[in-house]
Chain A
Amino acid sequence: MDLNTIWFVLVGVLIVGYAVLDGFDLGVGVLSLFARSRAERDLHAAAIGPVWDGNEVWLLTGGGALFAAFPPVYATVFSGFYLALMLLLLALIARAVSLEFRGLVASERWTRAWDWAFGLGSLLPAILLGVAVGNVLRGVPVGPGFAWQGSFLGLLNPYAILVGLVSATFFVMHGALFLRMKTEGELARRLGRIALGVYGAFLLLYVVATVATVRVSPFLFQKTSSPLFWALAAPLAVALAAVPIATRAGKRGLAFTASSATIALMILVAALSAYPVLVPSSLGLENSLTIYNASSTPRTLATMLVIALAGVPVVLGYTIWIYRIFKGPVRVGDGYSADAGAGAVRRVA
């Protein structure tokens, strides 16, 4: 495997890490819009409170790694998706601060307002991230020399919106399965039902999107005869089947694991299908950005590999350690619900 391929895989790993981890944060955020009481919304926030911040770093690191390993991709796609990205950033800002702010003032209206910001700030990225993936799979309008020739409205094509719905439904299901592990009683049972219902919608949309992909980007199906493709596609089918079975059987951890495997394998199958293309061009595949014509120098890729090999295992180590500390269900009164995080407080007069 050459360095370019290694970095293709590593950027893929970062995207998978983001989708698995921040994916459930986004889902929990969307679900909070449908919570039935203040106490339930508190539980939604408390469930992801200690971990969402670290999860979002996967996105930042992914952006940095893309910049470092494939600068023309970062530059071309990010400037091409300008307005869409600005919307995404505004949504992420709203979500980040609303979790922190919601409990800081003891007022129902204050908390309610921030909960709306939290929910919508989660829903928008859940859709937009899929729309972005859809546009990349479909091919973006880059001409010779990576010159961007598209428009904002061009990004909102039916295929990309379809993929946006796939991602949104997936994240909601993923979030429901995560939250079900962190809650008890009626809420947990309801989340199981929500997960099953949304799973149906997600599966339908995923199948429709896959069929649509055959029409939109036939080049993505050139590898269907390779054993590696089936080595990823077969477990994907198993994971997809395992989600509802485990959910029905009440195996919460297994259901969430299957859901995590589903998103990871979906991303890996798409990545393998596109390889070595990073961003196909809709103006002729010869204009596409690939891991060879859009990469940094071997020296930079090698340096970055050392950084990744030294840093990522440590990151995974302490991330797992801290997830274990916060293992188990959350209860009313845990962090982010009112002022509980800081203990009872009084005003000094």
Chain B
Amino acid sequence: MNALMLARLQFAVTVGFHFIFPPVSIGLAWMLCIAEYLGWRKRDPIYVQVGRLFGKLLAITFAVGVATGIVMEFQFGTNWAVYSKFVGDIFGAPLAAEGVFAFFLESTFMGLYLFGRERVSKGVHWFSSLMVAVGATLSAFWIIVANSWQQTPAGFVVKNGRAELTSFYEAVFNPSTLPRYFHVVAAALVTGAFVMAGVAAWHVLRNPESPVGRKALKLGVAWGLAFALLEVMPFGHLHAQQVARTQPAKFAAIEGLYASADAKAPLVVFGVPFKSGGPPPQPALAAPIELPGLLSWLAFGDFTAPVKGLGEFPDDARPPIWLTFVSFHNMVLLGLFFIGLMAVASWKLYTGEIYRSPRLLKALVWSIPLPVLACQLGWVAAEVGRQPWIVYPGIQADGTPFEGLRTAVSHSPTVTAAEIGFSLALFGLVYLALGALWLFLMIRKAKLVPEPAQA
């Protein structure tokens, strides 16, 4: 493997591993904020126990998230020097803003939240949990800003061999920032709710009368249903529409639309992408199940709207077909499953049967990792779908077209394949160990309920 492929692999490993943790942190932080609020206002010690239990899980996740996040911040410079020089005028500002506006807030108040329960008033302690949640959510904003600028660059002109900022506002609120931000935050909230519901379900399975389990289950299931619905409709839908408008090649790849449709583009519900014919080989779908017209309607609100197929783009401007299609479709499948599961659970919660429904409770327990998986799949669809560009083509501020920056020319020319291979192997081993430890500790701590006397 050459240095480029290794650098890409290292990036995928680093970001993929890191991205396990932020959705759990953001989601859990908000769930905790809710539980702590109820504990404070209702003077209910059970909610304080819920806070202690999930606060521990948040602390473990946050530590691993911070540790792996530093690597992300440094990696652009170490592995993608050409890219960093090209985009530094724009890309660095959101990363710095994330530090100043978000990460300081989250980290500093995390210390107060975890260590300050006995040192400050209940109100201030709740405030610290709120600031952790706000900080984590703002943090996601600035990271999504940076990444969205790669997807749909705006507010810049290419001058002196680099992208130069013309409008900070336009660069920050580029066409994909808000659709992607809401989609990602809602995904994180689903993740947090599933962790809370799943852990609570485990406690209720052990002891149907467990007060902590019952209260946490209520919170997790009710908010889980709300978040799961919001995640798909409107946020997932709006994001997909934005991709259809701004990144037609990516849209065609994730949806599996290979031949252009002048009208009534079909929605592919199932299919196996492969390449056939050629040269160059063209993308094709095996065993497709299609719903005619639905893609046109979903993308543009009109059954007769034309949609560009992937075949219309030159071979060197197409993202990989298999990974984009498979990851996107499985993400959608999971998203629908989340709604279904939480809808059933909410109904049984309403009727009160849930505490005696071991199968449903077990399903909730085993579903804990699924939102994390969905996040990973969504991220793969977003990032692989962006290929072969590291910065997507677009329009410059002066109206002239920008032909995009290719991933293939953006890595650090001075870092050798051997160096990347060495550090990749080292980080791979460390990450495996870290992931295993994280799981071990999360499971261990999830099974412990804090003493009520300490509350």
Q: Could you tell me the distance in whole angstroms from the C-beta of A181 to the nearest C-beta in chain B?
A: 17
- The interface residues of chain A lying within 8 Å CB-to-CB of B168 are 299-300, 303
A343–B445 Cα distance when bound, in Å, is: 13
B450–A78 contact, CB under 8 A? no
- The interface residues of chain B lying within 8 Å CB-to-CB of A69 are 92
> For chain B residues 366-417, which have a beta carbon within 8 Å of chain A?
412, 414-415
| A68 with B104, Cβ < 8 A, contacts A63-B74, A74-B77 known | no
Give B43-85 as 1s and 0s: 1 = Cβ < 8 Å from A's Cβ atoms.
Answer: 0000000001001100110111011111101101111111011
Judge whether A231 is part of the interface by a CB distance below 8 angstroms. Answer: no
A104–B444 contact, CB under 8 A? yes
> For chain A residues 120-165, which have a beta carbon within 8 Å of chain B?
147-149, 152
Judge whether A42 is part of the interface by a CB distance below 8 angstroms. Answer: no
Q: List 26 A-B contacts (CB under 8 A).
A: A49-B115, A56-B66, A57-B107, A64-B73, A67-B84, A67-B88, A74-B92, A78-B76, A79-B414, A86-B423, A86-B427, A93-B68, A97-B64, A97-B67, A100-B60, A101-B441, A300-B89, A311-B100, A311-B101, A322-B116, A326-B111, A341-B115, A342-B52, A344-B450, A344-B451, A345-B451
Q: Which residue of B lies closest to A311 (CB)?
A: B100
B119–A78 contact, CB under 8 A? no
- The interface residues of chain B lying within 8 Å CB-to-CB of A312 are 100
B107–A348 contact, CB under 8 A? no
Judge whether B15 is part of the interface by a CB distance below 8 angstroms. Answer: no
Judge whether A89 is part of the interface by a CB distance below 8 angstroms. Answer: yes
Give A90-123 as 1s and 0s: 1 = Cβ < 8 Å from B's Cβ atoms.
Answer: 1011001101110011000000000000000000
B85–A71 contact, CB under 8 A? yes
- The interface residues of chain A lying within 8 Å CB-to-CB of B453 are 344
B111–A71 contact, CB under 8 A? no
B434–A97 contact, CB under 8 A? yes
A53–B107 contact, CB under 8 A? yes
Q: Which residue of A lies closest to B120 (CB)?
A: A325
Give A301-326 as 1s and 0s: 1 = Cβ < 8 Å from B's Cβ atoms.
Answer: 00110011001100100110010011
A78–B85 Cα distance when bound, in Å, is: 12
B99–A64 contact, CB under 8 A? yes
Binds A, one of B203-211, B215-223, B322-330: B203-211
- The interface residues of chain B lying within 8 Å CB-to-CB of A100 are 59-60, 63
A312–B100 Cα distance when bound, in Å, is: 6
| A64 with B98, Cβ < 8 A, contacts A92-B70, A300-B89, A303-B165 known | yes
A82–B450 contact, CB under 8 A? no
Which residue of B60, B82, B91, B427 is within 8 Å of A104 (Cβ)? Answer: B60
Q: Which residue of A lies closest to B85 (CB)?
A: A75
Residue picked from B77, B101, B112, most chain A C-beta under 10 Å: B77
Please classify the interface of chain A as helix (H, G, I), strand (E, B), loop, or mixed, using the class held by over half of its residues.
helix
- The interface residues of chain A lying within 8 Å CB-to-CB of B56 are 341-342
A92–B422 Cα distance when bound, in Å, is: 18
- The interface residues of chain B lying within 8 Å CB-to-CB of A89 are 70-71, 74
- The interface residues of chain A lying within 8 Å CB-to-CB of B414 are 79-80, 82, 147-149
Which residue of A54, A96, A344, A349 is within 8 Å of B111 (Cβ)? Answer: A54
| A60 with B70, Cβ < 8 A, contacts A100-B63, A326-B115 known | yes
> For chain A residues 32-70, which have a beta carbon within 8 Å of chain B?
49-51, 53-54, 56-57, 59-61, 63-70
Q: Which residue of B lies closest to A146 (CB)?
A: B85
Q: Could you tell me the distance in whole angstroms from the C-beta of A87 to the nearest C-beta in chain B?
A: 9
Please classify the interface of chain B as helix (H, G, I), strand (E, B), loop, or mixed, using the class held by over half of its residues.
helix
Q: Could you tell me the distance in whole angstroms from the C-beta of B130 to the nearest C-beta in chain A?
A: 13
4 closest A-B pairs by beta carbon, nearest first, are A71-B88, A78-B77, A68-B92, A61-B99
Q: Could you tell me the distance in whole angstroms from the C-beta of B121 to the nearest C-beta in chain A?
A: 11
- The interface residues of chain A lying within 8 Å CB-to-CB of B422 are 83
A105–B444 contact, CB under 8 A? yes
- The interface residues of chain B lying within 8 Å CB-to-CB of A349 are 206
- The interface residues of chain B lying within 8 Å CB-to-CB of A64 are 73, 92, 95-99
- The interface residues of chain A lying within 8 Å CB-to-CB of B275 are none
Judge whether A335 is part of the interface by a CB distance below 8 angstroms. Answer: yes
- The interface residues of chain B lying within 8 Å CB-to-CB of A76 are 81
A96–B66 contact, CB under 8 A? yes
Name B's A-contacting residues (CB within 8 A): 52, 55-56, 59-60, 62-64, 66-71, 73-74, 76-82, 84-85, 87-93, 95-101, 103-105, 107-112, 114-116, 119-120, 162, 164-166, 168, 203, 206-207, 210, 412, 414-415, 419, 422-423, 426-427, 430, 434, 437, 441, 444-445, 447-451, 453-455
- The interface residues of chain B lying within 8 Å CB-to-CB of A74 are 76-77, 84, 88, 92
A348–B203 contact, CB under 8 A? yes
A104–B445 contact, CB under 8 A? yes
Which residue of A90, A92, A347 is within 8 Å of B448 (Cβ)? Answer: A347
- The interface residues of chain B lying within 8 Å CB-to-CB of A79 are 77-79, 81, 412, 414-415
Judge whether A77 is part of the interface by a CB distance below 8 angstroms. Answer: yes
Q: Which residue of A lies closest to B82 (CB)?
A: A75
A319–B448 contact, CB under 8 A? no
Judge whether A346 is part of the interface by a CB distance below 8 angstroms. Answer: yes
A325–B412 Cα distance when bound, in Å, is: 45
Q: Which residue of A lies closest to B434 (CB)?
A: A97
Q: Could you tell me the distance in whole angstroms from the C-beta of B31 to the nearest C-beta in chain A?
A: 17
Q: Which residue of A lies closest to B452 (CB)?
A: A343
A63–B73 Cα distance when bound, in Å, is: 7
A143–B445 Cα distance when bound, in Å, is: 54
Judge whether A224 is part of the interface by a CB distance below 8 angstroms. Answer: no
| A67 with B95, Cβ < 8 A, contacts A53-B110, A341-B115, A348-B203 known | yes
Which residue of A56, A93, A335 is within 8 Å of B434 (Cβ)? Answer: A93
Q: Which residue of B lies closest to A325 (CB)?
A: B119
B108–A319 contact, CB under 8 A? yes
A148–B413 Cα distance when bound, in Å, is: 9
A342–B450 contact, CB under 8 A? yes
Which residue of B63, B74, B427 is within 8 Å of A97 (Cβ)? Answer: B63
Judge whether A72 is part of the interface by a CB distance below 8 angstroms. Answer: yes
B85–A56 contact, CB under 8 A? no
12 further A-B pairs in the complex, CB-CB below 8 A; given A85-B78, A299-B168: A53-B66, A57-B103, A68-B88, A82-B423, A89-B74, A92-B67, A97-B64, A101-B60, A104-B441, A308-B100, A326-B111, A343-B455
Residue picked from B66, B70, B74, B448, most chain A C-beta under 10 Å: B74
- The interface residues of chain B lying within 8 Å CB-to-CB of A342 are 52, 55-56, 448, 450
Judge whether A5 is part of the interface by a CB distance below 8 angstroms. Answer: no
Which residue of B93, B99, B444 is within 8 Å of A60 (Cβ)? Answer: B99
A343–B450 contact, CB under 8 A? yes
A308–B99 Cα distance when bound, in Å, is: 10
A80–B175 Cα distance when bound, in Å, is: 35
A191–B20 Cα distance when bound, in Å, is: 40
A297–B90 Cα distance when bound, in Å, is: 9
Which residue of A59, A75, A148 is within 8 Å of B88 (Cβ)? Answer: A75
Q: Could you tell me the distance in whole angstroms from the C-beta of A188 to the nearest C-beta in chain B?
A: 21
Judge whether A213 is part of the interface by a CB distance below 8 angstroms. Answer: no
Q: Could you tell me the distance in whole angstroms from the C-beta of B99 to the nearest C-beta in chain A?
A: 3
Which residue of A60, A300, A322 is within 8 Å of B112 (Cβ)? Answer: A322
Judge whether A296 is part of the interface by a CB distance below 8 angstroms. Answer: yes
- The interface residues of chain A lying within 8 Å CB-to-CB of B166 are 299
| A72 with B85, Cβ < 8 A, contacts A85-B74, A97-B64 known | yes
- The interface residues of chain B lying within 8 Å CB-to-CB of A300 are 89-90, 92-93, 164-165, 168
